[in-house]
Amino acid sequence: MSKIYAAGILGIGCYVPEKILTNHDLEKMVDTSNEWIIERTGIKTRHIAAPEQATSDLATIAAQRALQSANVKAEDLDLIIVATASPDMAFPSTACLVQENIKATKAAAFDLSAGCSGFVYSLTVASQMIVSGLYKNILIIGAEALSKIMNWKDRNTCILFGDGAGAAVIGRVEDGYGTLGFNLGADGSGGHTLCQPAGGSRIPASLETVEKDMHYIHMSGNEVFKFAIKVMGEAANAALQAANISANEVDLFVPHQANIRIINSAAKRLGLSMDKVVVNLEKYGNTSAASIPIALCEALEQGRIKKGDNVALVGFGAGLTWAACVLKWSME
């Protein structure tokens, strides 16, 4: 019987573009107000990629910072997974572009599409490959340049999203540490509620699809909100159960940063005080697959996580999907 290894995070890094778009800037673009956006979402600002920046560029910077944090060389990576809903192009994968940028010449590479749940999906996949002994060092990245597929005339979506990237190196850690429990799921019946309708094989790009704004993000906000309120607490509880950890043993809760009301609801359902919850969406908005790793990266930089802490991650997104993971933190 082959050895079973413990898998955890060896290093983490994040990056957001320099340009900041405020609610007051949006007031000049669409019919909305700073007060309305804050009250309904909790968002004050978001970062926007430069015209020349694509998702792979944001991902590359986050990747380099994660490798430095983990003290792992790019040439020692076995695999790169990029979770994104806004790839540079349909193919090749954004992961292959990052592989070339960082010169990870020995690494396999692929993209993972699970919307805002993508980072936790990637963490789950990577962990199993470490646990089984298949690979030693895996780079996972959640990266988005959603501003590139945003309809800046649609006040229901353009106020919500931002750009950024977060990355982590996954590898072997001490027994008893690292990933302890997961919960992944999907409900494809809700796929139409959050999508980019055109540009694929169902509705190929044409002059008509461009004129009808079908290459932008389309979202039924109320439907996604109802789904999120229900699934966030359920997924977190299922992962805690799998890890054999109770909610009151959670030291830090890192939810997907979509909406402050959804985060508050999930924390309440788990019985967690807000001082145990990471919230940074007021600065970045919803960065989709990048939101959880950026929040995790900032929490670590702020000294909110120490070795041995129980950390719960939970997200939901297009698909519709959900994903939760519980880790015993292994980094010093």
Residues labelled catalytic: 116, 256, 286
At residue 131, the 3 state secondary structure works out as helix
Q: How far is residue 281 from each of residues 238, 258, 260, 292, measured CA to CA in Å?
A: 25, 7, 8, 10
CB 21 within 8 A of CB 45: yes
Residues composing the chain: 332
Q: How far is residue 212 from each of residues 137, 155, 206, 207, 316, measured CA to CA in Å?
A: 44, 16, 10, 9, 28
At residue 192, the 3 state secondary structure works out as helix
CB 172 within 8 A of CB 130: yes
CB 163 within 8 A of CB 288: no
Instruction: Please name the residues in contact with 209: beta carbons below 8 A apart, sequence gap of 6 or more.
Output: 197, 198, 199, 203, 215
Angle between helices 55-70 and 94-102 (to 10 degrees): 50
Element (H, E) at 242: helix 221-243
At residue 64, the 3 state secondary structure works out as helix
Give me the DSSP letters along 252-302.
Answer: EEEE--S-HHHHHHHHHHHT--GGGB---HHHH-B-GGGHHHHHHHHHHHT
What are the tokens at 322? Answer: 């959900």
